[in-house]
Amino acid sequence: MSGKERETEPAYQRLSRELRQQISAGTYRDGIQLPTESELAQHHGVSRQTVRRAFHDLVAEGIVYRVPGRGTFVTENSGRYLRHLGSIEDLMNLSRDTTMEVVSPLQRRVDIEAASRLRLDTDVVYTVVFRRIHEGVPFVQTTAHLPEAIARQIIDLPAMAAGAVSANTVIGLLEPLIDSPIVEAAQSITVSPATADVARDVDCEIGHAMLRVDRLYSNAQGVANELSVSYFLPEQYTYRVTLRRGAH
């Protein structure tokens, strides 16, 4: 990062970068508690809100985790090796044999965590909630968060209205309209219980174990264009990845 870029870098991004570097260097090791929000705010001369947003970044990346009432800790084996495989085209092709039904239309909201993960300078995002259906059976609920400039490209499309049913994906709608194509989807997969909204949308019990898939889509310049959080019903969905040996 150049000196000019660092001058315009938001304070929370600068702090999260510094903490990330300290963790990588071993200043804070696996399982060690980080300083409190107040301590970091005083040491770095920033607000507690700035520290909180920096922590959101690190939590989203799996580098640290937060325990209510106790503090923030470095994730064990946070430097573990990760291998990313797949293609953007595969994700766009979901529209070939599934349909998208909008549960909550694309609208403006304040979401600190989503804005942090999208690397925005504001807490405002635009969010749409939809479910996907295959052969008449709903199998996933997805919440997609978009930066305002990106959202305005598609907010008036019929496919983004409440109750709209179409053979689309959000990135499929965006691709022809944005200046720089989406070239990367950073993905994480965990297990999470179904909330009341998720249970309603995919017709399961509240608390049912779901496959949670988070994807952060970025363009060729590394700018995040979309954050999606999906809850898949395991009984109706199989996730398959083929791993191949790299060329020597």
If asked whether residues 136 and 104 sit together in one domain, one would say yes
Per-residue confidence (pLDDT) for residue 42, from 0 to 100: 94
The average pLDDT across 34-49 equals 92
The average pLDDT across 143-167 equals 94
The average pLDDT across 170-187 equals 86
State the total domains in the chain: 2
If asked whether residues 102 and 199 sit together in one domain, one would say yes
Domain that holds residue 40: 3-74
Model's pTM, two decimal places?
Answer: 0.65
HEC secondary structure over the chain:
CCHHHHHHCCHHHHHHHHHHHHHHHCCCCCCCECCCHHHHHHHHCCCHHHHHHHHHHHHHCCCEEEECCCEEEECCCCCCCCCCCCCHHHHHHHHHCCEEEEEEEEEEEECHHHHHHCCCCCCEEEEEEEEEEECCEEEEEEEEEECHHHHCCCCCCHHHCCCCEECCCHHHHHCCCCCCCEEEEEEEEEEEECCHHHHHHHCCCCCCEEEEEEEEEEECCCCEEEEEEEEECHHHCCCCCCCCCCCC
The average pLDDT across 160-175 equals 90
Per-residue confidence (pLDDT) for residue 84, from 0 to 100: 37
195-211: pLDDT as tens digits: 999 999 999 999 999 99
The average pLDDT across 115-124 equals 91
If asked whether residues 12 and 47 sit together in one domain, one would say yes
**CATH number of the domain that 170 lies in?**
3.40.1410.10
In a domain, 178, yes or no: yes
